Structure 1
Amino acid sequence: MSETREQPMSKLATPATGLAPSLDEAPLRPFHLRVTATTFGANFSDGYALGMIGAVLSTLTSTQNLSGIWQGLLGASALIGLFFGSIILGRVGDIIGRQKLYIYNFVLITLASAAQFWAKDPTVLFTLRVLIGFGLGADYAVGPTMLSEFAPRRLRGVLLGSLTVMWTVGYVIAGILGTYLGDTENGAYILLATGAIPALLVLLLRIGTPESPSWLISQGRVAEARSIAHKYLKAELGDAANAPASTHTNHSDAYREMFSPGQATRTWFGLVFYSAQVLPYFAIYTFMPTILETLNVPDVNLQNLLLNLFLLAGGIVGLWYLQKIGRRPLVIITFGIMTVALSFVGIFANGSTVALMIPFLVYTFVMAGASNLTQVYPAELYPTHLRATGVGFLNGTSRIASAVGTFILPVSLDAWGLSWSMYWLAAVLLIGTLASIAWAPETKDSVTTSGG
């Protein structure tokens, strides 16, 4: 399966029509900003939803006497839904198109988020958060896919990487609100329900979004793709118009192709890379207030705020490195630093607060920057007809890792303490480092369309 390569600008330019020569070479248009804004909003909603449960979980635990199992289930609930939503609806996005899922998933997210206000029973709250995760799982598959297929090639990395920054913004805001306003049961439920506000805004902005031209081309619907490219992007299709329509619509065939020669290494890399990134992240930050309280850290709220600010700063700085040094060097270097940092957290777990917080802050800063890759790499690993399936698969499997880590960490802290808990999380990052050295491709200059 070979990707379509662009011809030089001079051979494709169409000055007579005033249209850009191809989708990948189109200048930044207002429509690009619209798709970017709604995808940004979706990632903000995701970060807000996942961050808020961690922020209010200690309050719910104390007011409802939740067991360790219920704490783990509620912490992992949205991640469980993300797994099923990404796996199931990612493939649906390659079969029926991106546009329908891009809109209707946020109907589910908005309604389920609002309903959390009345979910006083942990079983009901768990169910609603699984539904929220299911809707977000669809967006993990089709959101970055849509953006990658509309975005000009030179801006694709920074736009996709910025999704993680917006995720972090949502996560940090949820953490701050939860810390200062979620100390009562009623306040906790109000904060959970406020997730409906950004979700509704995203839904309203997405109404009227057209189908991805790249997907239409893969289905042989070139005339429709050309019409959308002209109307919304003021661009020609370029060589993409000549790509043969996809014949891979069978569910099992798609997954078989993902693990076929030439594609399997990319799939295995994406699976290990993404899972190793997010398992320690979600485990640690879902229970960060609990971890800080266990360590008797003075002024837990201030330390938690500092860590959240480092999350945000690291994500922003990481965008520059993403564009500057490429995907492969960035993933190897950051995995290595994070492995060392968490190892030092384990070493200094019984030391002074300063000795403990320095490696924690280093891990937080670097991890936030490295997380930008989780939005960029998956979309660049697959050709058009497999892209939503592949992105959904990698997101879904990574959420298994996230849910496992989130469920196991509180048990690990009780049984083994902080040091050994940090050591096994560092071992996960070491696996990611080794997998990246062996398999990570450089996809910075890849194009968004392909034949096949």
Structure 2
Amino acid sequence: MEKKVPLEDIPLNSFHKKLTVYSSGGPFLDGYVLSVIGVVMLQITNELQLTALWQGLIAASALIGVFLGGFLGGWITDKLGRKVLYLLDLIAIIAFSFAQLWVESALMLFVLRLILGIAVGADYPIATSFLTEFLPRKYRGVLISVMIVIWFMGAASAYIVGEIALRYFGDDAWRWVLASAGIPGILFLIARSGTPESPRWLVSKGRIAEADAVVKKVFGPQYTAADLQESSPSSGPKATVWSLFHSGYGKRMLFVCLFWTCSIIPIFAIYAFAPTVLTAMNVPADQASLGAVIITILFIVGCALTAFIINRLGRKRLLLHSFFWSGLMLLFLGLNPNASNQTVMILFAGYAIAVGGSQVLQYLYPNELFPTEIRATAVGLGTSISRIGAAVGTYLVPIALSDLGVANTMIIAAGICWVGGVATWVLAPNIDALTLSQAASLGNETPAVSNSAVTTRLKID
């Protein structure tokens, strides 16, 4: 009789691949929605007579919404299951994207994008928890890395669609650009229909028979819910939301909030005002939009490269390298504000590639550090806290460029990256090569020197 392969070590099947595609809808729309505002900001400013205050508020509105939606969506997901919000959040994204066609004031646009951000924020804990709970460990890092690549593809698509529409569709093109997120939203909603509930979540709620049925359908009749290696409801005290604020999980939550915040403040600020930042670095205005597209494409390259090295380098080491090198590129930009256009683009390219590690690990690391019963809540809380910093940073970019200058703005951004690096060095646990249940349990961290073992154990065939 052939030995049964543990679920954490099974090869990828068609369900894994389909779920990866379906789950990518959230990151794609997230990148699209949060980036598209930067494409049309100049046109909206002229059309709606925006002051600098309203520019900052509208640019940050979706991020504020993500703050509200992240924790709320995660909490509801842990309470009601992954499947419910997996569909509802897309319906909301579609509806409020199309509603932007009828914007008549700065306040109306702010409110619509705030609600849109709530829906976007809810998808972070839903889609990533869903995917994490199904994937075998040696593919988890690679395929969740794909999620952030998809995020940047969504951002790049927003810039491309925006550039085409603004050139050929007249004065009201900005309305259609903002509403265009609803089209991919419809396609992903159709694709997600029929996705089963997470068996790990079902086990955490004591619904063993339902979990068995999902496991057998997805992985084969030889497997049962017991093969998930999840604790049963009667096996001991369960983690609760309050576990995130004390003891070992409190330390992990602090790490997640710090590294996530420090990794997104610079990148969201750059995305929201990429043409403005490039113009401040003396890149000609007619080249700034194209430069923003190029930088976005290089973000994708950086995240894709991360997917190839994540299992070899390990989570913690990868994150340390990402923070150090991306901060160094921003520091060089700050110290050379009058550099040539070529130098500016090379340094931004270096930042875009180096930052890939910290972006990928936003999706992967938090989902691996917490047990099933609080996983989505923890990821949602990390999303929410990080977006406070991102929203404030995005709001302050125009003010910083005006009052401090682009050089000091870039130096501050570099410092933020290095704060994230210090937080990683001090707080990040080593969990490489562990199963999902082991990684989520306290006290199972592996020594930092074990990366050679990680390489051998997790090498992709």
Same fold (TM over 0.5): yes
1:148-188 Cα offsets, whole Å, 9 max, x none, are 00111111111111100000001011112223422554111
Q: Which moved more, 1:262-271 or 1:289-298?
A: 289-298
Q: Which moved more, 1:81-90 or 1:437-446?
A: 437-446
Deviation at 1:260, TM superposition (A): 2.4
Question: Do residues 413 (structure 1) and 401 (structure 2) align?
Answer: yes
Hey, what's the Cα distance between the residues in 2 that align with 1:163 and 1:369? 13
- Asked whether 1:439 is paired with 2:427, we answer yes
Q: Report what 1:208 is aligned to.
A: 194
1:272 paired with 2:258, answer yes
Give the equivalent residue in structure 1 for 2:458: none
Partners of 1:23 and 1:150 within 8 A in 2:
no
For each residue in 1:297-317, what CA deviation from the matched residue of structure 2 results, as whole angstroms up to 9, or x when unmatched?
A: 132233223212211211211
Larger deviation, residues 60-69 vs 100-109: 60-69
Match of 1:53 in 2: 37
Q: Which residue of 2 aligns with 1:324?
A: 312
Quick one: which of 157, 162, 168 aligns to 1:178? 162
Q: Check the 8 A contact 1:339/1:430 in 2, yes or no.
A: yes
Please tell me the residue identity of whatever aligns with 2:47. T
Alignment map for 1:6-405 (pairs within 5 Å):
15=2, 21-182=5-166, 184-234=170-220, 235-240=223-228, 243-245=231-233, 254-298=240-284, 299-405=287-393
Offset from partner CA, 1:317-350 (integer Å, 9 cap, x none): 1211212211010000110111111111101112
**Where do 5+ consecutive residues of structure 2 fail to align?**
442-461
1:212 aligned partner, one-letter code: S
Q: Is the 8 A contact 2:129 2:375 kept in 1?
A: yes
In structure 2, how many angstroms separate the alpha carbons of the residues matched to 1:207 and 1:239? Answer: 26
1:248–1:404 Cα change, 3 Å: farther
Range with greater deviation from structure 2 (264-273 or 239-248): 239-248
AA partner of residue 225 (structure 1): A
Q: Following the alignment from structure 1 to structure 2, what is the Cα–Cα distance between the partners of residues 94 and 443?
A: 23
SS at match of 1:243: coil
- SS of structure 1 residue aligned to 2:91: helix
- 1:397-443 deviation per Cα after TM superposition (whole angstroms, max 9, x unaligned): 11111111100111111111101111111111111011111111223
Contact 1:79 1:400 (C-alpha < 8 Å) held by counterparts: yes
Q: Secondary structure at the match of 2:240?
A: helix
- Percent identity, aligned pairs only, is 34
The separation in 1 between residues aligned to 2:318 and 2:306, in whole angstroms, is 9
Tell me the SS of whatever aligns to 1:77: helix
- CA-to-aligned-CA distance 1:65-115 (integer Å, 9 cap, x gap): 211111111111111111111111211111111110111111111111111
Measured against aligned partners, the alpha-carbon deviations of 1:45-77 in whole angstroms (never above 9, x if no partner) come to 111111111111122112322111111111111
Q: Deviations over 1:195-244 (max 9, x none)?
A: 00111111111111111000111111111101100012224334536612
Alignment RMSD = 2.0
* More divergent stretch after superposition (289-298 vs 211-220): 289-298
1:23–1:238 CA contact under 8 A, matched in 2: no
Distance 1:37 1:185 in 2: 35
Q: Check whether the contact 2:100–2:179 (CA below 8 A) recurs between aligned residues.
A: yes
Q: Which moved more, 1:175-184 or 1:432-441?
A: 175-184
CA contact (8 A) 1:22 1:237 kept: no
- When residues 242 and 272 of structure 1 are mapped into structure 2, their CA distance, relative to the original with a 3 A threshold, is closer
Whole-angstrom distance in 1 between the partners of 2:137 and 2:91: 31
Q: Could you tell me how far apart the structure 2 residues matched to 1:58 and 1:444 are?
A: 45
Q: Which moved more, 1:134-143 or 1:175-184?
A: 175-184
Give 1:288 deviation, angstroms.
0.8
Separation in structure 2 between the aligned mates of residue 85 and residue 138 of structure 1, nearest angstrom: 5
CA contact (8 A) 2:101 2:178 kept: yes
After TM superposition, where is structure 1 displaced by more than 6 Å over at least 4 residues in a row? 246-249
Q: TM-score, normalised by structure 2?
A: 0.89
Higher normalized contact order (CA 8 Å, seq sep 6+, divided by chain length):
1
Q: Deviations over 1:343-396 (max 9, x none)?
A: 111011123223333222211111134311111111011111110010111111
CA 1:259–1:177 in structure 2 vs 1: closer, same or farther (change >3 Å)?
Answer: same
Gaps of 5+ in 1: 1-13
Give the length in aligned residue pairs. Answer: 433
Equivalent in the alignment of 1:430: 418
Deviation at 1:41, TM superposition (A): 1.8
1:7 corresponding residue in structure 2: none
Asked whether the 8 Å contact 2:152–2:297 carries over to 1, the reply is: no
Partners of 1:102 and 1:410 in 2: CA distance? 35
Q: Is the 8 A contact 1:110 1:196 kept in 2?
A: yes
Check whether the contact 1:217–1:241 (CA below 8 A) recurs between aligned residues.
Answer: no
Counterpart-to-counterpart distance in 2, 1:67 and 1:180: 26
Maintained 8 Å contact 1:266/1:439: yes
Amino acid at match of 1:140: Y
SS of the counterpart of 2:334?
Answer: helix
Length-normalised TM-score, structure 1: 0.91
How far, CA to CA, are the matches of 2:310 and 2:317 in structure 1?
A: 9
